[in-house]
Structure 1
Amino acid sequence: MDSNNDRIQLLDAAEQLFYERGYQTVGMDALREASGLPLKRIYSLFQGKDQIAVAMLQHRDKRWIASLEQHIGHEEDPSDQLLAVFDWLESWLSREGHRGCAWINAFGELGAVSPGVTQAVRDHKNRLKSLITDLAGQAGASQETADAIFLLAEGAMVTAGISGRPDVAIQARRAAQVLLAA
């Protein structure tokens, strides 16, 4: 058996189940069924569901950040790259079945009881903040402005997840534009 393929197969199944149903409602049998892997194989890859959740968040983070970086890479000007973050968010928030930010959802469900999940969420949010801070700095904006733009992105994700309105990312983009122009 190819360990890496089995691992990815399990993490992809876990991502879909956790995102659709929540972390606490998904049991190991559901992960077994969705991944097509025997429980013995799953336990040889991870000690338990908490470790699967952490690895899934890390796996998702790599794809999420790579997709965002690819999108903003189409722009040359740092200000345009920074605003493209919101364009990408609007597209991502518009996907069918969107249920909010996977990391915020994980933190809400497991943050109090899983230090690993808490760290995976913080790592993801720190990567996003670092990306926004770097772009804002390249655009000549202050750290204070970069922090505000990061909060606009986070607020758009939370608001869209609750309201079901992906256009909040465009509203956040306009606010970021105002901050950059100030």
Structure 2
Amino acid sequence: MNEITSNDTRDIILDVTEKLIYKSGIAATGMDLLVKTAGVSRKSIYRYFTSKEALTVAALQRRDVRWMHWFQTEVNKAPSPVERLLNLFTVLKDWFASEGFRGCAFINTSGETGDPQDPVRLVAKEHKQKLLDYVCELCTEHGVHDPEALAKQLLILIDGAITVALVMGDHSAADNAQCIARTLLDLSLFKQDQLAV
């Protein structure tokens, strides 16, 4: 007979919470819905998480780790630094076309919190910082003059493409962002050449 271990129960609760929040938002994901969908008791949920906020934060932290691993793995399949930078947007386009795409979970949940110090907002900020750091690494590998400045511009393109894809239902937002990114990369290398003269 297969017994469900405590780690299994915790994982089930986190999986269900993440899916429900990503689909409908924090406010629409009540404890009754979590209990019913996860097939666990309310007492079981509170055994692992002191509050709905703590559960939400844990689910988002878990999503951050998984999403960043997936994104970096896919982007890094491109063979050269410049191709990896452009591949950021190719990978996004594939994600936009995937079943169940509902935009960025971290942007979405941030929109539900008013306080910049809210734990949910802080998880979102950490996620965006990790994404920015990764893009900055790619810019550094490419050898641009100011990798941090370019990475900040590319992050705006990434989040802009995600938002347009969700709101407008336009998967080509990734193509448009990639076109702008290509221009920024060319401009950055041109500036570097000018400084070298």
Please report the TM-score for the alignment, with normalisation by the length of structure 2. 0.87
Q: Counterparts of 1:165 and 1:94 in 2: how far apart (Å)?
A: 9
Pairing of 1:4-153 with structure 2 (within 5 A): 4-112=7-115, 115-141=118-144, 142=146, 143-153=148-158
Q: Counterparts of 2:119 and 2:111 in 1: how far apart (Å)?
A: 13
1:27 Cα deviation after fit: 0.9
- In the TM superposition, structure 1's runs of 4+ consecutive aligned residues that sit over 3 Å from their partners are none
Q: Counterparts of 1:134 and 1:111 in 2: how far apart (Å)?
A: 31
Q: Counterparts of 2:24 and 2:126 in 1: how far apart (Å)?
A: 23
Query: Cα distance 1:167–1:181, how it changes in 2: closer, same or farther (>3 A)?
Result: same
Alignment check: 8 A CA contact 2:106 2:124 kept: yes
Give the corresponding residue for 2:190.
none
1:28 Cα deviation after fit: 0.5
SS of residue paired to 2:99 = coil
1:74 Cα deviation after fit: 1.2
Q: Which runs of 5+ in 1 are unaligned?
A: none
Please report the TM-score for the alignment, with normalisation by the length of structure 1. 0.94
Alignment check: 8 A CA contact 2:139 2:150 kept: yes
Deviation by residue 1:5-53 (Cα, 9 ceiling, x = unmatched): 2121111111111122211121111101111111111000101111111
Q: Which runs of 5+ in 2 are unaligned?
A: 188-197
Task: Give the number of the structure whose alpha-carbon radius of gyration is greater.
Answer: 2
Number of matched pairs: 182
Kindly report the root-mean-square deviation, in angstroms, between the aligned alpha carbons of the 2 structures. 1.5
1:151 Cα deviation after fit: 0.9
1:114 Cα deviation after fit: 6.7
1:3 Cα deviation after fit: 2.6
Q: 1:155 aligns with which of 160, 165, 177?
A: 160
1:96 Cα deviation after fit: 2.3
Q: Counterparts of 2:73 and 2:114 in 1: how far apart (Å)?
A: 30
Report which structure shows greater RCO (CA 8 Å, sep ≥6): 1
Query: Cα distance 1:82–1:57, how it changes in 2: closer, same or farther (>3 A)?
Result: same
1:103 Cα deviation after fit: 0.5
Alignment check: 8 A CA contact 1:50 1:114 kept: no
